[in-house]
Structure 1
Amino acid sequence: MNATPPHHPDDESVAHAANSRLVRDFGLLIRSATRLEQRIDSALRRECGISHTMLEVLIRLCRHPGEEVSQRQLADDLTLTSSGTTRLIDRMEESGLVGRVPAPGDRRVMLVEPTPKGRTAFLRAAAVHAEVVEKYFVRPLPPDDYARLTGALGEIDRALRGERE
């Protein structure tokens, strides 16, 4: 039996891969986005009593007044599981922020809509969100750099959605 010994990469090649420019740059993007999301979530919980994810639901529901939005659409838009969305909407409904109504054409489908309390909470939360984003995402950059950053992020988003090859 002639077994070839397994190849074990040396420490130097492993360290080189772990410290590559692409790994570092992507890590910086993820760390920055995560820290910003944590700042937003903390401010929203402290000042508004809602989570950042709840604000994302309210943004989606308030963006086009009168639009019928199902729980399934919310799950897809927010990249949450169906059960995670159900639990989130349950909590928001218990807090009086949203209500569920059967879809007119299909009573098996539940639509979610903001309540008056939800709309009021949304306006306050949107202001808090804007303050944090302005402080940590906009102000640290010169205006030209901010415009280039947001333009580049838009290009990345389009590429990820398959609009650009």
Structure 2
Amino acid sequence: MSNAAKDRVRLWLRLLKVVRGLEQELRDTLRREHNTTLPRFDVMSALSRHPEGLKMSQLSGVLRVSNGNVTGIADRLSEEGLVQRIPVPGDRRAMMLRLTPQGAAEFALQAQAHEDWINEKLRGVSPEEARAMAARLQAFAAQTEEKENANAQ
């Protein structure tokens, strides 16, 4: 293996270690401080960005998970009064999900706690470094997606 390849593998392993560690801490913090899970947080986050609501299929697409994964979470959030299901006119099988006022308020608390937690965890990274790293990762993600799309055709 070339030195460049070894350097890239080391980078990959460090990225994995950091992301997995932060994600596990985030899961534990959400459970402990908000009695919720990361998938529930993700669903509420997606719905908060779409106040008009999302069809279940759209929500699955935004989250890049199966409809089945979203359905169970949506059921529980609905039972708790955090989301409402709205029938889609003209499509008896389709449902739209929207945060309720209670859900929006609860998500606002969770989102602020999430932001504060991430800010604290990454306090050693300057805003300039954060923007540069994010831009580099976004460029890498776009490059990878282009290659995947080209291979799929």
TM-score (norm 2): 0.84
Structure whose CA Rg is larger: 1
The share of aligned pairs that are identical, in percent, is 28
Distance 1:143 1:58 in 2: 27
More helix by share: 2
Q: Say if 2:85 is the partner of 1:100.
A: yes
Q: CA RMSD in A?
A: 2.5
Out of 120, 134, 137, the residue aligned to residue 150 of structure 1 is 134
1:129 CA displacement: 0.5
Distance 2:127 2:101 in 1: 37
Q: Say if 2:34 is the partner of 1:41.
A: no
- 1:5 matched residue in structure 2: none
Please tell me whether the aligned partners of residues 58 and 114 of structure 1 are also in contact (alpha carbons under 8 angstroms). yes
Q: Say if 2:31 is the partner of 1:31.
A: no
After the TM superposition, which parts of structure 1 deviate over 4 Å for at least 4 consecutive aligned residues? none
Secondary structure of the residue that 2:110 maps to in structure 1? Answer: helix
- 1:55 matched residue in structure 2: 41
Please tell me whether the aligned partners of residues 48 and 121 of structure 1 are also in contact (alpha carbons under 8 angstroms). no
Distance 1:69 1:41 in 2: 25
Matched positions, count: 148
Distance 1:48 1:37 in 2: 16
Higher relative contact order (CA 8 A, sep 6+): 1
Q: After TM superposition, list the pairs within 5 Å mapping 1:7-26 onto structure 2.
A: 20-26=6-12
1:65 CA displacement: 2.0
Q: After TM superposition, list the pairs within 5 Å mapping 1:113-132 onto structure 2.
A: 113-132=98-117
For 2:72, give the aligned amino acid: R
Please list every run of 5 or more consecutive structure 2 residues that lacks an aligned counterpart in the other structure: none
Distance 1:85 1:35 in 2: 25
Please list every run of 5 or more consecutive structure 1 residues that lacks an aligned counterpart in the other structure: 1-12
Distance 1:108 1:120 in 2: 29
